[in-house]
Chain A
Amino acid sequence: MKNHVVLVVSIMVVLFLVLTISVPVTGYSHPSASVLVVPYIFQANSIPAAGLIQPEELIKLLAAPQGEKPLLIQVGSHVLYQEAHVPGSEYVGPASSAAGLEKLRQRLQSVARKTRIILYCGCCPWGHCPNIKPAWELSQSMGFSNVKVLYIAENFGTNWVDKGYPTAKGD
């Protein structure tokens, strides 16, 4: 009996090691890959640090049993939203376009100005995101005082999906 138990445990441990070591769950890139540094006007960098929320903080916020849940709005690509988004978040359209910005304005029109709002995109590396700054500026111009922007350094895949944070897909 004791030998059987040891055998079962050994198999489980081996399976665990195989599953966790052989399958990289964070994707891959060529070992020699490097990042091209291109001078660029990093428009998203002008959003003040006080206006940012890190993914880890948002996870804690969403997991908290009590407290007001934020209004989560994705202001980027619809295709990327369909593939994966933060559960419970709404899609309004890319804020870099006039149409997307107008949809955001309409969505926020009836929202109380003290509502906790979190805007996010994640389409591109932070400095290259065309959507997040216009969305942030609109929220400020409309008088919202409790808005945070989710800081996504690389993209939604690298900084959210690959970290195993919860996602939903579809509309």
Chain B
Amino acid sequence: MRYLWILIGAAGLLLALALASRHRSPGHTGQLQPGSQAPEFSVIALDGKQLNLASYRGKVILLDFWATWCGPCREEIPIFVQLQNKYRDRGLQIIGISMDDGPEPVRQFYRDFHMNYPVALGGARLGELYGGIFGLPIAFLIGRDGRIDAKHVGPTNPSMWEGEITRLLAENGSSAGEFNPAVSNRPECYLAACNVQFNALRRRDRVKFAPFNSSTTNVLSMT
């Protein structure tokens, strides 16, 4: 009988450990599984308009948490601008949530990078709503049904973005058609598809995106 009580104690300990692991940190990302509904939010965008996630239901949403001081974010944003241009008519909506500490650098950045999608300042509460934004960049892809399809932490290959976006656009909506994963795995093909003179940015076989100043504007002007 004594062994049974030891067994119960051990099982109880295991159970406690399991429960503790679920609540071990504030806002851990476990609650946002692929397939779960993207948390709704409403914020004021840089242009002063209300930005409601719910108002974009029916579109494929790329929700990008970024900041002006974040190197990988700055490298990704020209790509997002291209993607927004290319897939807007098929139902892509990119939304930028800046985690900067104030709006001024964001407004300047918005102009310098010719951003063509809504951007709003986020904050700790919005970060927690999305499972905790404890580093940047972090982006969520949300399907037309409002469910989270994927979460990317850190810099992500541009061809990956396009592949995932076109796949989602094709679901219950217009077909992306021209996307060819076999070709688009090569970054230069991705950029070529966006009518950008990639060779100007290319160094051997490595990808080099536009630096964080005027040359970025040049790239955008080629679109």
Q: Which residues from chain A sit less than 8 Å from chain B, CB to CB?
A: 2, 5-6, 8-9, 12-13, 15-16, 19-20, 23-30, 32-40, 77-80, 82-84, 94, 96-97, 122-125, 128, 130-131, 154-158, 160-162, 164-165, 167, 169-170
Contact = CB atoms under 8 A, between A and B. Distances in A.
Interface residues of B, number: 62
Q: Residue among B133, B136, B203 with the most chain A CB within 10 A?
A: B136
Given A23-B22, A37-B207, A123-B70, A80 B154 contact: no
Interface of B: 4, 7-8, 11-12, 14-15, 17-19, 21-22, 24-30, 33-34, 67, 69-72, 75, 99-101, 122-124, 127-128, 131-136, 138, 141, 149-158, 160, 163-164, 187, 203, 206-209
A146 B194 CA distance: 51
Given A33-B152, A36-B207, 16 more contacts: A19-B15, A20-B18, A24-B30, A36-B155, A79-B127, A83-B132, A84-B27, A123-B70, A124-B72, A125-B72, A128-B155, A131-B69, A155-B135, A157-B29, A160-B134, A169-B124
B22 A80 contact: no
Nearest to B24: A164
A5 B132 contact: no
14 contacts: A8-B8, A12-B15, A35-B156, A83-B26, A83-B27, A83-B132, A123-B69, A123-B70, A128-B70, A154-B153, A155-B154, A157-B138, A158-B153, A162-B28
Nearest to A20: B18
Given A38-B208, A79-B124, A128-B70, A27 B164 contact: no
Contact of B160 (A13, A34, A128): A34
A30 B134 contact: no
B29 A94 contact: no
Contacts of A125: 72, 154-155
A27 B28 CA distance: 7
B134 A122 contact: yes
Q: Residue among B21, B70, B141 with the most chain A CB within 10 A?
A: B70
A162 B25 CA distance: 8
Contacts of A78: 101
A154 B155 CA distance: 10
Given A20-B21, A83-B26, A128-B70, A77 B157 contact: no
A150 B209 CA distance: 29
Contacts of A28: 29, 33-34, 151
A20 B160 CA distance: 30
Contacts of A169: 26, 124
A162 B24 CA distance: 9
Contacts of B136: 80, 123-124, 155
A130 B71 contact: yes
B69 A130 contact: yes
Contacts of A20: 18, 21
B151 A158 contact: no
Cβ-closest 8 pairs across A and B: A155-B135, A157-B134, A27-B29, A30-B150, A12-B11, A128-B71, A82-B124, A19-B18
A155 B134 contact: yes
A19 B23 CA distance: 11
Given A27-B29, A38-B75, A83-B26, A13 B134 contact: no
B71 A80 contact: no
Given A13-B11, A162-B29, A124 B70 contact: yes
Nearest to B135: A155
A13 B153 contact: no
B127 A83 contact: yes
